[in-house]
A and B are shown apart, each in its own frame.
Chain A
Amino acid sequence: MGSAEPSTLSATRREQLPNGLTVLVHEVHTAPLVSVWCWYRVGSRDEGPGRTGASHWVEHMNFKGTRNIPRDQMKGLVERFGGMWNGYTWVDQTTYLETAGRDALDQLLFIEAERMANGLYEPEECESERTVIISELQGGENDPDQLLDQEVTAMAFRAHPYRHPTIGWLPDLRSMTRDDLYGHYRRYYIPNNATLVVAGDVDTDDVLRRVERTLGAIPSAPEPPRVSIVEPPQIGERRVVVERPGTTAYLKLAWHAPAAMDQDFFPMLVLDAVLTGAKGMNLWSSFRGAPPQRKARLYTRLVDQSLASSVSGVLVPTAQPFLYTVSLTAMQGVTLSTLEAAAVDELDRVREVGVTDEEVGRARRQLRARFVFETDSVTNIAHQLGYFETVTGPGFFDELQSRVARVTVADVADVARLRLLPANRTVGWFLPLQKMERQP
């Protein structure tokens, strides 16, 4: 692989504490910083009917005070060290992060220990956060693309809980109680369901001692329940049309996709790079900004031909089979049926004729470069280590480069033929209703 191999990442130390907490430590001495991420194997897939959005709401609650960090003292704990903090929830995982000056390490570990064991969930704080989350949901709905994505995902899945949005359905957000949230928190926030990642200007042995001291005494608990639902195969194309006031039409095509551990995953990743340009695999950073895509199939066919003003593809590594989604913004004056026909025609060509050596070679080179770009900070490195440990288990991350390098033209043709079937597809239209503006 030459000089572009991010070889430093292979030097990660992985330990498991007696209470089941997995700890990953990775030294990077280029800046006086440390990034701490605490990952939990719980996401929106773990929510039953009436409880959608619980994982994400719990994430919010875990910034609202613990037994030893009262609510009003939360503010400033990380900032004191010049740090930033955040968290996110998605289908398979919930995670919390802080990146700060390296002297903050003990403080950051203390925060994560408190978060794991001592959340307060005061009723009035739950109520206040309810409306914050509803505001977050409504902000998302202001974006037609996001609204359509939600509808397409819900349409594509019949049985699997991947179908509901991570933020939850509005009626559930209105009806869930403090006890629902606290129960969810207690079930999943246990050391044997978590991975703590520390990356930065640290000494590995020293970190392990500090982690043991801070989080080692939190008792393990029974393994939380795991989703066993398997989505039945889709047997016919599904369609959803959203009509709303707006100025712009959007199209989405989504197919059931292989899970990260499926042997089809890497060929699919290369196929996505051929179709829409390689993004990389860092959910935290790779999807910001456009990928290299001017030679990509759907770009040259749809954007260069002025049918669409943008195209993007999303294939994210997930624990169970999720979706591969292609999103298009229609150019003004181009109807969705015209755009869809052109997109489907190009995809049919890929299914029937396959892709070229040149395209696969380019996709592999793009992915090799993107893997370097997406590990350019302690924050990004720690994300990647924790993400794959949580979603796929150990070993997977180290093999990204070699798995991509082994993908052949025939592999890509096979996944295109088998996966991009019309019967495996859900099509979403966002049709803008004109006259969207009234005079106040």
Chain B
Amino acid sequence: MTTAAARGLSPVRTVLDSGAVVIVQETLTTPAVTINATVRAGSVHEPADRPGLAYLSGRVLDRGTEHRSAEVLAEELDDRGVSLRVATSRHATVVSCTCLSEDFDHVLAIVLDILRHPVFPEHEVSKRQVECLSAIRQDEDSPSVRAVETLFEMLYGAAHPYGRRAKGTVESVQRLTRGDLAAFHAARFRPAALSLAIVGHVAPDAGLRRAAVELDGWSGAPVEDPAIPPPPPALERRQRVIDLPGKSQSEIAYGFTAIRRLDPRYDAYFVLNNILGQFGLGGRLADNIRERQGMAYYAFSSLDPSVGVGPLIVRAGVDPDNVERTLEAIDQEVRALGTEGPTAEELAQTRQFLVGSIPRTLETNAGIASFLQSEEQFGLGLDYDRRLADDIRAVTLEQVRAAAAELLHPERAAVAVAGPCQ
């Protein structure tokens, strides 16, 4: 029996005259549709003196449009069981939701209305501003957030677009005005910066037709993306400790700057990260820190290659008394893999796992929508889901060894530890 997923995806992609990209993938699992509208408007696009602008814009974007008040939006979405998510990342604002297929036309109209015609009402701006300040204060009390944010600042420097906090600071958010939000929207929310993915129980031609209707009349010159400067070179080991009294556990974030998503070494790095800190419970790191030493509930690594050079980050949460032992264990695993590379058996296991997990990644509508958006963002091609397996199988031991030798040097690692200092 050949299932749809075994044959691969069959998305239909259209570029409208305005430059907006619409991608529709029909699936039949549930009578539901996921809508994912990604606009190239993230924290890297905010003016250097307005940290937190993209994040706050995302919080207010869906609080009233030229056609629908906040009250009406709330009613139209809540009545259909739809929770709209507006997520702001370094490079994009993503408005996404899942609705019943019977509500698709209406919900698509709402999503695109929000993208095109937000009015950023003054009173909503001030309310969400206070919410953002609360969120920043909550983050300040979270050891994991503090460790990771500190690590990014150490890896990139506070002035780099990847080095600063996406939510901004208490001071910078307080300074933001309705005018800032409206100007950011006018500059960044253009059809040529939009990629709209529609995945679910909807026929491709019907999905495209509805999208074209809702996007009609929207125009605007393509926006130019700022260049992401390379991260500063890491010449030595750096370590910072953030003391958070009263916490039970210390959070460790340890890392290096790695590669861009479009780097030709991407597949080798992807495989390398899996071996170091993903496979099974968390690769070699969890084997050592969790399984052999019983020190942590989680120890893993993650690779986040982006438009610019993204990091590889090792994370673990441990008893404050075990921080030093854990750092030694991380150093040991990082050094061993960097020096010797993986074994042929590890590589074979990891390749088999990564290839085998593709259908799982593409099982749900939301999973497919994210995958299609990633294809679009990096220009990977509509057949990427079918090429991916071969790409992974083609990774050689030499390539992974070379990647490990380039990247994994404990003496150049940045280390942030947040937790109680006795």
Contact = CB atoms under 8 A, between A and B. Distances in A.
Given A79-B280, A331-B131, A332-B130, A136 B297 contact: yes
B5 A32 contact: yes
Interface in B74-121: 74-75, 77-83, 85, 98-102
Contacts of B280: 75-76, 79
A134 B319 contact: yes
B70 to A, nearest CB: 8
Contacts of A365: 79-81
Contacts of B131: 306, 309, 331
A407 to B, nearest CB: 16
Given A136-B297, A277-B83, A376 B32 contact: yes
B246 A246 contact: yes
Which of B80, B134, B298 lies at the interface centre, i.e. has the most chain A CB atoms within 10 A of its CB? B134
Contacts of B295: 131-132, 135
Given A135-B295, A139-B248, A245-B245, 17 more contacts: A32-B5, A79-B349, A79-B356, A80-B352, A129-B294, A130-B294, A135-B318, A138-B248, A245-B246, A246-B141, A246-B246, A277-B78, A294-B70, A309-B135, A376-B30, A376-B366, A440-B242
Nearest to A63: B281
Contacts of A132: 290, 294-297
A201 B1 contact: yes
Contacts of A436: 141, 244-246
A402 interface: no
B81 A82 contact: no
Contacts of B144: 142
Contacts of B296: 132, 135
Identify the 6 closest CB pairs spanning chains A and B, nearest first: A82-B356, A369-B81, A294-B74, A245-B246, A128-B294, A138-B248
A368 B127 CA distance: 31
A362 B82 CA distance: 11
Interface string B353-371: 1111111101111100000
Contacts of B291: 128
B352 A82 contact: yes
Contacts of A135: 249, 295-297, 317-319
A278 B81 CA distance: 8
Contacts of B6: 31-32
A101 interface: yes
Interface of B: 1, 3-6, 27-32, 70, 73-75, 77-83, 85, 98-102, 127, 130-131, 133-135, 137-138, 140-144, 241-249, 251, 279-281, 287, 290-298, 317-319, 349, 352-360, 362-366, 421
Interface string A279-296: 000000000011111111
Interface residues of A, number: 80
Nearest to A362: B79
B134 A30 contact: no
Interface stretch (A2-10, A253-261, A319-327, A390-398): A2-10
Contacts of A277: 78, 83
Contacts of B137: 247-248, 332
Contacts, number: 239
Interface of A: 2-4, 6, 28-33, 75-76, 79-84, 99-101, 127-139, 141-144, 201, 244-248, 277-278, 289-296, 304, 306, 309, 329, 331-332, 362, 365-370, 372-373, 375-378, 432-433, 436-440
A382 B270 CA distance: 31
Nearest to B362: A31
Nearest to A380: B364
Contacts of B246: 244-246, 433, 436
A263 B4 CA distance: 42
Taking each of B83, B131, B241, which has the highest tally of chain A beta carbons within 10 Å of its own beta carbon? B83
B77 A292 contact: yes
B63 to A, nearest CB: 9
